[in-house]
């Protein structure tokens, strides 16, 4: 009966498979090549089958190795997450706040909230990072940040999230006469629509908004809110984005108008053990105050 392998066996197998050689795995792990060879052979004895075969002087994974590598990759990723979490726990301190936010919130909302925080707590140090939605949830999960500020709340009993405020989708359009090519036509009525390819809560709202414009046809698509807004600045059509992107990318040649029924939540997400942190709660209060203080957007008479 085969004996079970341990994590060291899995680590050696993973690196040999990834590097394609014993010597490459030894360099990656900082050990000697004979040590790698010995542990790999030990793993094969315990498993009861070979993981690699030698063909023309090269190590070639067996069919069993290909199957096991997927499992080893998952274990390797989990081990890295463990290391990251341990490092973040070691570096964490109450006088320092690590904020992760969506890119669109990192331009104005988060900086303004930090200014409010530091006005009352000048001895606090702050680190800010901007991430995509999936990266934001992972940063909260692995304790790479103390709080994530975005539009979607991560799932799981270990998380807590609070509503920081509401925001709106807006139509960003060239002003009359700013369309390219120029012509005697009204913005939004005849200009080409610039669609945003997005997922998550905001992406669902955007798709609903695009459904209202299907008769015009979608001739341009952008992967990010910022690019879509800049395409409008270039006079190439109009788009629907969140109000934070619209304000950050606004120019004298464009207008910004609210989409009725296009409201969405701004969420602060953190792990349960951070809920009692006075510093974190002070930041969340600052974000709420910043959201409440922003000027309203004029309605575009467009409803979802």
CATH number at residue 233: 3.40.190.290
Please give the pLDDT value at position 85: 65
Residue 1 lies in a domain: no
Residues 171 and 38 in one domain: no
**Number of residues written out for the chain:** 304
Tally of structural domains, the chain? 3
List pLDDT tens digits, range 161-178.
899 999 999 999 988 655
Q: In the numeric block, which tokens belong to residue 247?
A: 């304000």
* Domain identity same for 258 and 176: yes
Q: Provide CB contacts within 8 A for 154, sequence distance 6+.
A: 136, 137, 140, 141, 148, 161, 269
Task: Give the range of the structural domain holding residue 192, as residue numbers without chain letter.
Answer: 167-264+295-303
Residue at which a domain ends, from 90, 113, 143: 90
Residue 59 lies in a domain: yes
278 shares a domain with 248? no
Give the per-residue pLDDT at 147: 94
What pLDDT does residue 215 have? 41
How far is it, in rounded angstroms, from Cα 8 to Cα 43?
9
Average pLDDT of the segment spanning 241-269: 89
Output the DSSP codes for 84-95. HHHHHHHH--TT
pLDDT at residue 183 is higher than 60: no
Last residue of a domain, one of 43, 69, 90: 90
Query: 209 falls in which pLDDT band (50, 70, 90)?
Result: low
pLDDT tens digits for range 277-291:
888 999 999 999 999
Alpha-carbon distance 180 to 175, whole Å? 11
Ranges of H-type helices in 22-170:
22-29, 33-47, 63-91, 109-120, 133-141
Domain for residue 196, yes or no? yes
Q: Is 20 in the same domain as 84?
A: yes
Beta bridge partners of 255: 173
Element (H, E) at 210: helix 200-211
Q: Do 147 and 281 belong to one domain?
A: yes
Which of 90, 107, 138 finishes a domain? 90
Query: Are residue 150 and residue 283 in the same domain, yes or no?
Result: yes
Quick check: 260 and 303 in contact, CB under 8 A? yes
205 close to 169: Cβ distance less than 8 angstroms: yes
Do the domain assignments include residue 41? yes
* Residue 2 belongs to some domain of the structure: no
Query: Which bin fits 137, alpha (ψ -120 to 50), beta or left (φ > 0)?
Result: alpha
Is the domain of 186 the same as that of 141? no
Burial of 88 (0-12, 13-18, 19+ CB in 10 A): middle
Q: Name the pLDDT band for 149 (thresholds 50, 70, 90).
A: very high
CATH code of the domain in which 12 resides: 1.10.10.10
Q: How does residue 210 score in pLDDT terms, banded at 50, 70 and 90?
A: low
Q: What percent of the chain has pLDDT over 70?
A: 81
Peptide bond into 170 cis (omega under 30): no
> pLDDT tens-digit profile of 7-29?
899 999 999 999 999 999 999 99
Read off the pLDDT of residues 56-108 as tens digits, 9 standing for 90 and up: 888 999 999 999 999 999 888 888 878 766 765 555 445 689 999 999 999 89
| Structural domain contains residue 110 | yes
Distance CA 38, CA 214 (A): 64
Q: How far apart are CA 167 and CA 158, in angstroms?
A: 26
Are 82 and 135 contained in the same domain? no
Q: Does 257 share its domain with 180?
A: yes
- Residue 191 banded pLDDT, cuts 50, 70, 90: low
Q: Are 109 and 125 in the same domain? A: yes
Q: What pLDDT, on the 0 to 100 scale, is given for residue 88?
A: 55
Query: Within this chain, do residues 209 and 145 fall inside the same structural domain, yes or no?
Result: no
**In the predicted model, is pLDDT for residue 222 greater than 60?**
yes
Name 54's bridge partners. 59
Task: Report the mean per-residue pLDDT for the chain.
Answer: 83
Work out the average pLDDT over 115-122: 90
Closest among 155, 249, 148 to 196, alpha carbons compared: 249
Rounded-to-integer distance, Cα 52 and Cα 24, Å: 15
CA distance 206 to 259: 11
**Residue 121: φ, ψ to 5°:** -135, 75
* Beta strands 96-102; 125-131: pairing state: parallel
Residues 112 and 206 placed together within one structural domain of the fold: no
Q: What is the DSSP string of 158-202?
A: TEEEEEEEEEEEEEEEEPTT-SSS--S--TTTTSPEEEE---HHH
């Amino acid at each position: 009966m085969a004996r079970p392998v341990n994590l060291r066996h899995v680590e050696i197998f993973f690196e040999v498979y990834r590097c394609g050689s014993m010597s490459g795995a030894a360099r990656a792990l900082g050990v000697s090549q004979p040590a790698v060879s010995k542990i790999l052979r030990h793993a094969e004895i315990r498993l009861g089958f070979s993981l690699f075969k030698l063909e023309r002087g090269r190590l070639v994974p067996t069919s069993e190795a290909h199957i096991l590598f997927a499992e080893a990759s998952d274990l390797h990723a989990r081990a890295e997450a463990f290391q990251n979490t341990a490092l973040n726990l070691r570096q964490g301190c109450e006088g320092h706040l690590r904020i992760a936010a969506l890119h669109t919130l990192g331009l104005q909302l988060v900086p303004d909230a930090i200014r409010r925080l530091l006005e009352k707590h000048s001895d606090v140090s702050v680190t800010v990072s901007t991430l995509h939605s999936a990266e934001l949830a992972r940063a909260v999960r692995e304790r790479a940040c103390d709080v994530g500020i975005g539009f979607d709340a991560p799932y799981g009993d270990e998380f807590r999230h609070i509503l920081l405020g509401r925001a709106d989708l807006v139509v960003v359009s060239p002003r009359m006469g700013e369309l390219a090519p120029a012509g005697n036509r009204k913005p939004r009525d005849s200009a080409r629509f610039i669609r945003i390819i997005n997922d998550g809560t905001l992406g669902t709202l955007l798709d609903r908004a695009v459904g209202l414009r299907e008769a015009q046809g979608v001739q341009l698509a952008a992967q990010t809110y910022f690019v879509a807004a800049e395409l409008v600045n270039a006079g190439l059509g109009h788009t629907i984005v969140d109000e934070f992107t619209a304000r950050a990318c606004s120019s004298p040649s464009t207008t910004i108008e609210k989409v009725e029924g296009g409201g969405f939540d701004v969420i602060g997400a953190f792990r349960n053990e951070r809920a009692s942190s006075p510093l974190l709660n002070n930041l969340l209060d600052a974000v709420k105050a910043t959201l409440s203080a922003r000027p309203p957007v004029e309605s575009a008479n467009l409803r979802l």
